[in-house]
Structure 1
Amino acid sequence: MATPLPPPQHGGIDHNLPTCGDTQCSSHGTCVPSTDGGLVCDCNLGYQGETCDDTVNGSLSLPLTLSVLAVIIGILIVAVILAKLRRKQKKRNRKHLEEKHGYDIVA
């Protein structure tokens, strides 16, 4: 039976250990030196905050949802108004034909 190989190490560095980006930046960024000598997170696209744990989309979700809902409700209102106008127009046309030709049109 073969024994498992130890993790690869180059120059005494264990590459399987978590990096600063994994621990300090929530795995959504990399650590970069700051002007005061410490480390700060450089967040990946779509993430923000000191530790890259806030999503950019998270802050947009409520306004976006409300906007989409408003558009859908607006479209429904316009559709109902158009349907009522069309129904009135058909009724007016039937009445006009009835008066013009002197007969009843059964709907």
Structure 2
Amino acid sequence: MSTLSPPRARGIDHSLPTCGETRCSGHGTCVVPAGGTTELVCDCELGYQGESCDDTVNGALSLPLTLSVLGVIAGLLLLAFIVAKIRQKQKKIHKRKEAEKHGYNIAI
């Protein structure tokens, strides 16, 4: 007796890359243009553009945005440091005044 392998189903092979994955960089789908030509074009996902959807819409903003965020963070850290120094100085002055008020001779 021989064993037969199950028949292979015919149809679409889902393991093959789609047109959107190959032609549209995985960021769009292939569509037939309205003009009726036979060549497929890419319909890009939100945030992507170009003939093959490989350009990001906000790509030109990434460096200035990053620098702006870093600048804001550095500014907030500097402001927090200045406020901490001012409060430290105020506490020192307050302690000195309290010591003088009570007649203590404390060198601060």
| Map of 1:46 onto structure 2 | 47
Q: Deviations over 1:12-71 (max 9, x none)?
A: xx4444433232111221122335524321112232221012334544432332122112
Question: What residue is the counterpart of 2:24 in the other structure?
Answer: 25
Cα distance, 1:71–1:2 mapped onto 2, change above 3 Å: farther
In structure 1, list runs of 5 or more residues that go unmatched.
none
Relative to the length of structure 2, the TM-score reads 0.71
Aligned residues: 103
Question: 2:78 aligns to what?
Answer: 77
Whose strand proportion is higher, 1 or 2? 1
Q: SS of the counterpart of 2:51?
A: coil
Q: What is the RMSD of the two structures over their aligned residues, measured on CA atoms?
A: 2.6
Offset of 1:2 from its aligned partner? 5.5
Q: How many percent of aligned residue pairs carry the same amino acid?
A: 59
Tell me the residue number matched to 2:10.
8
> In structure 2, what is the Cα distance between the partners aligned to 1:48 and 1:4?
45
Aligned-partner residue type, residue 6 of structure 1: R
Distance 1:7 1:64 in 2: 52
Shift of 1:91: 1.3
Runs in 1 of length 4+ with deviation above 6 angstroms?
none
Look up the equivalent residue of 2:45 and give its one-letter code: N
